[in-house]
Amino acid sequence: MSAEDFQNGQILLIDKPLKWSSFQAVNKLKYLLKNHYGLPKKFKIGHAGTLDPLATGLLIICTGKFTKTITEIQVQEKEYTGTITIGATTPSYDLETEINATFPTTHITKELILETTKQFLGEIDQKPPVFSAIKKDGKRLYEHARAGEEIEIKARKTTIYEFEITRIDLPEIDFRIKCSKGTYIRSIAYDFGLALQSGGHLTALRRTKIGNYSIKNAVTPEVFEKKMIHEN
């Protein structure tokens, strides 16, 4: 590819590494492309949907004129795989914060788990985690949370198209979910624990699809860099 190709617009499928922010991934590619192709300082590049640092998987990065398609890509349905750990909760609903409560799990059976997934199918009301980037009163929720401020979060409607349990090895439950834009999988992990009359938090998450774009066609930033050097 040439500098002109990237300025005209490309859709790049990146497999975001664990602990990288989506912003870091975009900055890494911006740096590589500008250095390699001598692109201008105001070169346009952005991602079509944030992934938490503790999640891996598909991050769509658009360049040049294709940055105009970001909104269109963001509204497409998404697919995730991951692990819910039952019997404990954390304030962030994932591993970002320490366990704050533990719950019994001896009553939980495979049948109960499979039956409980049915409650989550279709349109559901979901409260975003307090540790999220949504803004309230001019500040992001995680800023309120880290300051120890009590805040009221309104439930939002979201749609779960598919919820499949792929492995049960308590306290771990692996899943695959297909959902609408704006779904917080961390909230599903927390709510799933509650529905099982226990507690739950998310301990692994990977985004595998956004619309027709698949992780199968994505590369890590490291592989992207190697391919870019090799092609030229």
- Whole-model pTM: value is 0.90
* 15, 52, 94, 191: the active-site residue: 52
Residues 6+ apart with CB under 8 A from 57: 15, 16, 51, 80, 205, 206, 207, 208, 215, 218
Q: What pLDDT does residue 43 have?
A: 87
Which pLDDT score, from 0 to 100, does residue 70 have?
93
52 a catalytic residue: yes
**Predicted local confidence at residue 104, as pLDDT:** 95
Tokens of 114: 């499979």
Amino acid 175: pLDDT: 98
Alpha helices (H) along the chain: 3-8, 22-37, 70-74, 110-117, 141-146, 185-195, 221-231
Closest CA to 43 of 19, 61, 55: 61
Positions in the chain short of pLDDT 50 = none
In 9-162, alpha helices (H): 22-37, 70-74, 110-117, 141-146
Q: How many Å apart are CA 2 and CA 123, to the nearest integer?
A: 45
Residue 163's DSSP bridge partners are 177
